[in-house]
Amino acid sequence: MLESELRAAIAGEVRFDDGSRALYATDASNYRQVPIGVVIPRTIDDVAATVAVCRGFGAPVLARGGGTSLAGQCCNVAVVLDFSKHLNRILDLDPQARRARIEPGLVLDDLRDAAEAHRLTFGPDPATHTHCTLGGMIGNNSCGVHSVMAGKTDDNVEELEVLTYDGLRLRVGATSEEELERIVRAGGRRGEIYARLRALRDRYAHLIREKYPDIPRRVSGYNLPALLPENGFHVARSLVGSEGTCVTVLEATVRLVPSPPARTLLVLGYPDVYTAADHTSEILEFSPIGLEGIDDVLVESLRRKGLHAESVHLLPEGRGWLLVELGGESREESEARARRLMAVLRDKPDGPSMALFDDPSQAKTLWKVRESALGATAHVPGQPPAWEGWEDSAVAPAKLGGYLRELRKLMDRYDYGCSLYGHFGDGCVHTRIDFDLVTEAGIRKFRAFVEDAADLVLRFGGSLSGEHGDGQSRAELLPRMFGPELVQAFRELKAIWDPDGRMNPGKIVDPYRLDENLRLGTGYGPPRLRTHFQLPDDDGSLARATLRCVGVGACRKTGSGTMCPSYMATREEMHSTRGRARLLFEMLEGDPLTGGWRDEHVKEALDLCLACKACKGECPVEVDMATYKAEFLSHYYAGRLRPRPAYAFGLIYRWARLAAHAPRLVNFFSQTPGLRDLAKRAAGMAPERSIPAFASTTFRAWFARRGPHNESTRRVLLWPDTFNNHFHPEVAEAAVEVLERLGYDVDIPRRPLCCGRPLYDYGMLHLAKHQLREILDELRDEIRAGTPIVALEPSCAAVFRDELINLFSQDEDARRLSQQVFLLSELLVRDGTLDRLPPLRGRALFHGHCHQKALIPRDGVKEVLEKLGLEVEFPDSGCCGMAGSFGFEAGEHYEVSVACGERVLLPAVRAAAPDTLLIADGFSCHEQIAQGTGRRALHLAQVLRMACEGREARPGELPENGKRRDADVPWAAMAAAGAVGMLAGWLAGSALGRRRSRL
């Protein structure tokens, strides 16, 4: 009844299915509560109508933004309102008044980007700034790096429009005594609320002034000091940090502060993190705009995970560091401030080591060390997982060093390991601790530690929470911090706003215990499923792999990077890496998802995963959704027929070899009007896509009849992948010519082989393993001889670097092969042959393949192009959207593909000057560019051949025969190969599909 009435009442989306409920069962915390249902409101009126319907049923309500809360305040048995998809606009931005009026689902960086146009910013900026919402920040009273400059969120909120559970909609802010009196006299529900708030203030004023710690980062408890006369009876600020337990925020007016246009980063190295903390007070005297601390444990975790290597080596000598950011109106001013600080520190007997970074790109890489800390310390190879639970305590900055020493002693007593880092300029400490949250003894120990840690921080005059809020993690401990009388005041405050207790119940007031509703707990016992992938980094356990996702939500960013392209296109939690990981976790839990490997909710979420592998490269905990998707699909389709595209595109290697016997016949069927449409339908291809043609001669045939090879001790094996063999032989030909000009002896495998990359997209793992075994057998002598193998298609290189080891983790030849495969650019940089390249002047735009960016970040492309002398642009283009066959498939796949391409890449290509070289090594990227812009991209090998031949750099290079080949992308041409036998491709594929042992 509740669901149906909601559907009738609102224009937004009402989702009470088990998949949606599972998606929202947890946040970034240790807690899990399956909601009643989920509502995605389109308008503020939808929000009001939803609350009204829920009130009729007595159903609790929980407002939610990005879902990145770490204390459990964003999960509850309630109707969840997700504001992030639609209610995310800037309603007004007034640079003169330095104010912005926003909807609660607005992402922080969207506001900051708009404000920067006026040299303004919203001061608080947590590490999740790329994807957290302002509504969530208001709920938690978030802070961040620059709160040392601008204060917490409550300091930057001027007005709120709020909705109470009983239906009152009102605007609140600072209130003079005269206005307060007028409101009270006016009566009604609003007058009643203000009268009771005034009475509450007057009754508890002495305790508020006495018990609330006067430190920069007190976030715990309701914000009662905002109601004091000296603070302007600021009702809006009193609601900041209330975690959705009192009202639903509909709109906010926030303060903007000047954004220093120039910033300089000074990194200070100390013997340990405790000494670093001791020196924060003297650093604060120089008015930094950011002051962060990190320890050696965090840095070592980054090293062990291979994260941000380019950043870690920039750190000065030490085992504890302070990152000091100083601002100014000009670069000279900010740098002068930094140098003044350095001069003072240099004269001290215990002065730190120092490194100054005024290059914004270097500073940005160093900030990544700090911003990735949560994820980087959650799952470290060889160590147990680390969890929140005591991750944001705060003290006065002057007491920070002593507090950290005592906190470490307490952890040692409990035999816990952790990293210590955080907002040292505000005295706030972040950490994740390796709690045992599964066994009864481990949970008792966890609880005892948290209680002792609470007593410790209170002895230092601090706060249980300095940023993340109380939620369920700390709310039970509030009596220790504030005493029973103020906790009673909290109950009274909630009752004023929410007399029925239906707003996010069990959080802050009358809370759940900190050791109940655990996401794991003593009932956690997922089945040990047999998988194709051996998951060596997760002890062979899919369940452990799903625990990698800690909910930080970096996959929900939309403005930069590659992860997660489908989320960027749809803004749906289900299509984020986090959402998919959570559904896999819930699949193993078995409640509310009960379908196991055949669960349709999991299948639906994975359907729009482009398998770009960006999550493995960009997610701070390296969630590997491409692998999990392939594994799931292999079991989902076991004994079943797959969709048509699986046979048309997944079996590309087979169809291409068949087509090579009669390419003109295949091309006739694929290019002739009418026949080509039938071929598209047979293959499940989007009608909007065009079918390219097969090459008339394969690369292998060209290689077999060419002249003598170079005789050189520098021997390499060129990998003639299916794509460059059958569709773009000119790329492989160019690679041979370039390598030989640089002194290599080039050979190829004796017989056709395929790494099977397309098979993974459809879960055809039996066949994929078979093809990899063929490669290991055929190339065994070359592998053991250590012969370098050059891969031209990045996705093929990725198979050898990733899937091969994941499927054959105990095979030494597989490990050797993974270390012997190089991209062309990698090989040239490794061997130091760049000096032999002649110059090639001109402009270029380079788009990196997703797998290339995720798995081969140091691919050498930039060094090669700069050595040529090209003026190169590297747009932050993310995923092109084609993603192998994904963008060729009809329906939603095609739509998402185009949306991904239009985000950055295609506009950048259209904007590039006509004489700009477009460079992309991925075939699917080539076709997305060609079909989306009408322009042609070149492979790096073709660009290098231009240089070696002394030719002028020119875009749209033609093959040597002078005829443009249309075979840029092999994936689409599989429809043609399948059409050879009058559309027999799908029929043949269907027959193959019945042979479960093979596929």
DSSP states of 891-927 as a string?
THHHHHHHHHHHHTHHHHHHHS-TTPEEEE--HHHHH
**DSSP 8-state secondary structure symbol assigned to residue 425:** G
pLDDT at position 309 is 65
Cα 749 to Cα 719: distance, rounded to the nearest angstrom: 7
912-915-917 Cα angle (round to 5): 75
108-132 burial, b at 16+ Cβ within 10 Å, e below that, comes to bbbbbebbeeeebbbbbbbbbbbbb
Nearest to 856 by CA among 781, 778, 760, 922: 922
* Per-state percent for the chain, helix, strand, coil, to nearest 5: 45, 15, 40
C-alpha to C-alpha distances, 433 to 69, 416, 417, 619, nearest whole angstrom: 17, 7, 6, 20
pLDDT at position 968 is 36
Cα 779 to Cα 814: distance, rounded to the nearest angstrom: 11
Neighbouring CB atoms inside 10 A of 899's CB total 15
Residue numbers of the chain with a pLDDT score lower than 50: 957-999
Q: Note whether 32 and 75 are within 8 A (CB).
A: yes
- Terminus-to-terminus CA distance in the chain, angstroms? 45
Q: Note whether 570 and 609 are within 8 A (CB).
A: no
Cα 938 to Cα 416: distance, rounded to the nearest angstrom: 54
State both tokens at 361.
Answer: 């790109």
Parallel/antiparallel/unpaired status of strands 428-430 and 421-423: antiparallel
pLDDT at position 135 is 98
pLDDT at position 956 is 64
Beta bridge partners of 433: 387, 418
Residue 371: strand, helix, or coil: helix
DSSP states of 790-827 as a string?
EESSHHHHHIIIIIHHHH-TT-HHHHHHHHHEEEHHHH
